[in-house]
Chains A and B, each alone.
Chain A
Amino acid sequence: MLVEIPRLRRYARALLGNRAAADDLVQDTLERAWARCALWRAGSDLRAWLFSIMHNLRVDQLRRPNLPSHSIDEDDFEVPTRATQSDRLEVRDLESALRQLPDEQREVLLLVALEDLSYAEVAGMLGIPVGTVMSRLARGRERLRRLMEERPPGVNLRVVR
């Protein structure tokens, strides 16, 4: 179990973009896993099982009502920004672009990118057909690319109403 935790954390961090929330999700996942360890078939892939538990928890969380929030386009403010091409900003920008993907696309994209899973494995974890994995992956990647191309580097503000 111990060796799987860092990978769960990495994926959760990438998915949620927030350290505390990600670690909470990992904690919930581990707790649920222990509570249900009788259901785990010895010899089957522990990592895949843990990731699917995390996915299901996430689905449960998303069903719960959230604080209503909306994105503010930086065009609304026209804040002059220095044109920097530093790596740090690029990374930040990719991360903020990642936040703008629909959850289902971000999930597939990250499982493929970070965990090097096959499409069939991702489909099994999320309980969706492989075709759905493929179309979410294609749409997610394309959207991310467009976000990166069209938007100048900047910070995406998010406020809670």
Chain B
Amino acid sequence: MNKLPMTEDDLQAWVDGALPAVRRGEVEEYLATHPEEAERVRAYRAQKQVLKAMFQPVLDEPLPERLQALATPPVAVDPEKRPFFTRWSLQRIAAGLLVAIVSGAAGWLGHAQYQAVDSRQAQRVPLPRQAAVAHVVFSPDVRRPVEVGAAQEDQLVAWLSKRLGTAVRPPKLGAIGYELIGGRLLPGNSGPVAQFMYHDASGQRLTLYVTTENASNRDTGFRFAKEGPVNVFYWIDGQFGYALSAGIDKAELARVATAVYDQLERK
């Protein structure tokens, strides 16, 4: 009965006046012979008009102050220079990463813990792994990288020594370009461990992880491990295990590790 079959899309487009003239004529011819369809699309048209009329007054309402204020950039920041990632969103991303890493580490540590219970085989998290995880968790922290800052170094030393049950002291690395930021207490495989954090002039951070859990282990020389982006030098000296972690290259880390080792030997 028609040149082109009439589709629902044609009828909708007729309602919205979106048809080219020729097609509109064809639709109107069709509607003339289909009263029910005609009634339906006229109802749609009326609907559209009523909706428009109904909400038209909103356009003339005075704007509330809070919206008025947003007609211009909300803070005194040049919109052109505003970075895509604002500081706030970076913090959120960092928080998300932290949660992911901590949960991952916790799950993994927990898993190892259960294994140890189950098999009675002391399946421990290897020292460089523990140290690398602790490094990755805390070193990106901008606001609270450490629990006690270098300004209270005496308190830090007294506190960590008391908790670890033996004297621990952060080595002084100023001569090779690293300043102490501070330190914190962390849970190790079976008790407390200490972490000291340093940074160089460029803000590059490194952490020294100190455990006292190695009663059964023999002494070792320097060992190197790579845990993802983190390089770790570690060694065991009596009851102490030391691990130096940073996202810096192996040669530079070896230089720092040697300085740390020398100082600890001399004490």
Contact = CB atoms under 8 A, between A and B. Distances in A.
Interface string B41-70: 001100110111011101111011011101
A5 B73 CA distance: 14
Contacts of B154: none
A2 B44 CA distance: 32
A45 B240 CA distance: 65
Contacts of A79: none
Contacts, number: 101
Contacts of A57: none
Contacts of B223: none
Interface in B15-59: 15-16, 18, 40, 43-44, 47-48, 50-52, 54-56, 58-59
A5 B71 contact: yes
Contact of B59 (A10, A34, A112, A134): A10
B12 interface: yes
Nearest to A110: B51
Contact of A38 (B8, B54, B61, B84): B84
A160 interface: no
A9 B44 contact: no
B72 interface: yes
B252 interface: no
A34 B63 contact: no
A59 interface: no
A37 interface: yes
A34 B55 CA distance: 26
Q: How large is the interface on A (under 10, 10 to 19, 20 to 34, 35 or more residues)?
A: 35 or more
Contact of B55 (A13, A118, A141): A13
A61 to B, nearest CB: 18
Please report whether the interface of chain B is mostly helix, strand, loop or mixed according to DSSP. helix
Interface string A3-25: 00111011001100000000100
Nearest to A145: B43
B16 A112 contact: yes
A125 interface: no
B74 interface: yes
Interface string B67-86: 11011111000011011101
A2 B71 contact: yes
A134 B9 contact: yes
Q: Which of B60, B64, B72, B83 has the most CB of A within 10 A?
A: B64
Contacts of A145: 40, 43-44, 47
A39 interface: yes
Nearest to A20: B64
B82 A38 contact: yes
A114 B51 contact: yes
Contacts of B8: 134, 138
Contacts of B43: 145, 148
B19 to A, nearest CB: 12
A32 B126 CA distance: 46
A151 B38 CA distance: 22
Nearest to A28: B70
A30 B79 contact: no
A34 B64 contact: no
B12 A138 contact: yes
Contacts of A144: 47
13 contacts: A6-B60, A6-B61, A9-B59, A14-B54, A14-B55, A30-B67, A38-B82, A39-B84, A94-B47, A94-B50, A98-B51, A119-B18, A145-B47
Given A13-B55, A145-B47, 4 more contacts: A38-B80, A38-B82, A90-B50, A134-B9
Interface of B: 8-9, 12-13, 15-16, 18, 40, 43-44, 47-48, 50-52, 54-56, 58-61, 63-64, 66-68, 70-74, 79-80, 82-84, 86
A-B complex: 5 closest residue pairs judged by Cβ atoms: A30-B70, A2-B71, A10-B58, A113-B51, A113-B48
